[in-house]
Amino acid sequence: MGLGADEQTQFTVDTSKCIRCGRCVAVCTGMVIEQGEDGLPHMLPFEHFGWRGCWRCEHCLAVCPTGALSIFGKNPEDSLPPAPPETGEYLEQVVANRRSCRRYRDENVDPAIIDRIMAAMQNVPAGGNAQSTEYTVVDDKDRMRQIRDVAYAAMKEAAAHKRYTSSFDDFYYAKMKQSEATVRKGDLLFCGAPHLFVAHVKATGRWAADYAINCNLATAYFELLANAHELGTVIMSYPSDVLCELAPEAREMLGIPADHYMKLIVGFGYPEIPYARGVQKDRRKVHRWTEQSGGQLNLL
Ligand SMILES: Cc1cc2nc3c(=O)[nH]c(=O)nc-3n(C[C@H](O)[C@H](O)[C@H](O)COP(=O)(O)O)c2cc1C
């Protein structure tokens, strides 16, 4: 039975470094690491990765204070260090300064930046640590233009016959059309973005809803990472609806299987217009339980 053995997870312990603290046992989500009588951790046999065994979360590698543990052939020294204390403040600045960018420079983003973001995207959370979410990136503006031309033509043809996506009607389409004169300069569909990111997945079975949520979560992480790297981004549902409902041939050009869930897509690139400061939105419906409020609605 079982995968289980150390060889399957490539679980190794450097006995000269292990201080036998047991932290790897205490954080093991799959509860498959045991501390032996000699104090050294070892991997128990298990049936399958996931709920019936190792979750591939790598907490064991990450928690080990001396870097004694390796799993899946990963060298602990290759892990990024914890973020420095000032990160909280920086992240607040990123969130206040992230915004939907709807005008882009007609320029490819440096591929090294896209590579960095996609490397970081390996580590985004997913329910049950499911690694089923797939990412599609259009990293060439000419390819993006081809896809846009096909999708745009299909959308325009449908609109000529008063056919719209399920999310749109005459009013919304006219409003978007109007936006091409200013905010969505010449491209109501993809806002002229030179690149596209799409998280998609085959979402079936018991966890189908979670798989779809994983995609949307990945979308949010991508957006934040891209903004942290000073790129402009726009999360979009309308063009995704166009791809899925009106322009299957454009969706095929993205190589996204027809049976995959996709909903939010992210256009990105170098912003055309620099902004001078962050926004100051008032999100009023924040409920916080404090002793004073007794759980009452607090206005920030
Ligand atoms: C789920 C979702 C769908 C969106 N769809 C579109 C879209 O199709 N087209 C678009 O231009 N912006 C779209 N947006 C961007 C929102 O309109 C935008 O986030 C909102 O107006 C707030 O502006 P901000 O992002 O600049 O803070 C979408 C955002 C979200 C979160």
Q: How crowded is residue 260: how many other Cβ atoms within 10 Å of its Cβ?
A: 18
Q: How crowded is residue 26: how many other Cβ atoms within 10 Å of its Cβ?
A: 11
The predicted pLDDT at position 131 comes to 87
Ligand 1 center to 234 CA (angstroms)? 7
Whether 59 is in the pocket of ligand 1, judged by its Cβ within 6 Å, is no
For 123-132, what is the mean pLDDT?
A: 93
Residue 68 pLDDT exceeds 50:
yes
pLDDT in tens, 112-122: 999 999 999 99
The reply to whether 99-269 shares the fold of 6-78 is no
Whether 93 is in the pocket of ligand 1, judged by its Cβ within 6 Å, is no
Contact criterion met (CB below 8 Å) for 271 and 232: yes
Residue with tokens 């926004």: 279
Range from 137-141, 200-204, 233-237, 291-295 carrying the lowest mean pLDDT: 291-295
Q: DSSP letter string over the chain?
A: --S-SHHHHT-EE-TTT-----HHHHH-TT--EEE-TTS-EEEPP-SSSSTTS-----HHHHH-TT--EE-TT--GGGSPPPPPTTHHHHHHHHHHH--B---B-SSPPPHHHHHHHHHHGGG---GGG----EEEEE--HHHHHHHHHHHHHHHHHHHHTT---TT--HHHHHHHHHHTTTTTTT-TTTTT-SEEEEEEB---STTHHHHHHHHHHHHHHHHHHHHHTT-EEEEESHHHHIIIII-HHHHHHTT--TTSB---EEEEE-BSS--SS--------EE---TTTTT-EE--
Mutate to test the pocket of ligand 1, among 155, 224, 236, 273 (most ligand atoms within 8 A of CB): 236
The predicted pLDDT at position 296 comes to 67
pLDDT in tens, 146-176: 999 999 999 999 999 999 999 999 999 999 9
* Residue 1 pLDDT level (bands cut at 50, 70, 90): very low
Residue 263 pLDDT exceeds 70:
yes
The predicted pLDDT at position 7 comes to 66
For 227-252, what is the mean pLDDT?
A: 98
Contact criterion met (CB below 8 Å) for 9 and 54: yes
Whether 235 is in the pocket of ligand 1, judged by its Cβ within 6 Å, is yes
Q: What percent of the chain has pLDDT over 70?
A: 95
Residues contacting residue 211 through CB under 8 Å, at least 6 positions apart = 127, 130, 132, 133, 201, 202, 203, 261
The predicted pLDDT at position 293 comes to 72
Which tokens hold the place of 290? Answer: 């404090």
* Residue 297 pLDDT level (bands cut at 50, 70, 90): low
Residue 2 pLDDT exceeds 60:
no
Which tokens hold the place of 232? Answer: 């402009």
Whether 167 is in the pocket of ligand 1, judged by its Cβ within 6 Å, is no
Residue 48 pLDDT exceeds 50:
yes
| CATH match for 6-78 among 3.30.830.10, 2.60.40.10, 3.20.20.70, 3.30.70.20 | 3.30.70.20
The predicted pLDDT at position 292 comes to 75
Mean pLDDT estimate for the chain:
95
pLDDT in tens, 5-36: 566 899 999 999 999 999 999 999 999 999 99
Ligand 1 center to 158 CA (angstroms)? 23
* Residue 280 pLDDT level (bands cut at 50, 70, 90): very high
Contact criterion met (CB below 8 Å) for 7 and 49: no
The predicted pLDDT at position 96 comes to 97
Whether 212 is in the pocket of ligand 1, judged by its Cβ within 6 Å, is no
Tell me the domain boundaries of the chain.
Answer: 6-78, 99-269
The predicted pLDDT at position 172 comes to 98
Mutate to test the pocket of ligand 1, among 237, 265, 281 (most ligand atoms within 8 A of CB): 237
The predicted pLDDT at position 290 comes to 77
Q: What does CATH list as the number for 99-269?
A: 3.40.109.10
